[in-house]
Amino acid sequence: MLYEALMSQYKHLTFKESLLMPKGLSGLYIDHQIIINKRLSLYEKHCVLAEEIGHYETTYGDITNLESVSNQKLELTARRWGYEKIVSLDKLIECYVADQRTEEDICTFLEITPQYLYSAIDRYRQRYGLSTIYKGYRIFFDPLNIKGDFF
């Protein structure tokens, strides 16, 4: 399971699943502890975990007040970090090489939700435009497609 594999990369953090979460939160990072809503599906937990680790890697202080523009930016930074961690260009190429080419196959292979995949791809489209060349592959973002042996 990729969810557990991601946790194992951060042995210095404590992970907990709880039914008692603050209203509207799927996950929470506080003082080297990540708490994930136990009611979520495995794929949802994996996506939330990536973002919460993103908070550990990129955020400082209490950013729960999302009316603050600076807190919104920190939230977005953590979310983007999560996209690049579990839906990296390398992971998309792994999907291509493993013949996992439909959105459903990619989501199953990466253990993520379709919405998370769409959001990650949208982020890459904002960053790179309609396509990019990466490690000998041309990756198209609209629609998602990969062509190998580009060099």
Residue-level length of the chain: 151
> Is there a contact between 71 and 65 (Cβ–Cβ < 8 Å)?
yes
> Is there a contact between 119 and 86 (Cβ–Cβ < 8 Å)?
no
Residue 110's SS3 state is helix
Backbone phi and psi for residue 64, each to the nearest 5 degrees, phi listed first: -70, -20
* Boundaries of every domain in the chain: 2-86
Q: Each residue of 45-57: b (16+ CB within 10 Å) or e?
A: bbbbbbbbbbbbe
- CATH code given to domain 2-86: 1.10.10.2910
pLDDT in tens, the chain (151 residues): 899 999 999 999 999 999 999 888 999 999 999 999 999 999 999 999 999 999 999 987 776 666 778 778 888 999 999 999 999 999 999 999 999 999 999 999 999 999 999 999 999 999 999 999 999 999 999 999 999 876 5
Residue 103 pLDDT: 96
User: Which residues touch 50 (CB under 8 Å, ≥6 apart)?
Assistant: 6, 81, 82, 83, 85, 86
Residue 148 pLDDT: 86
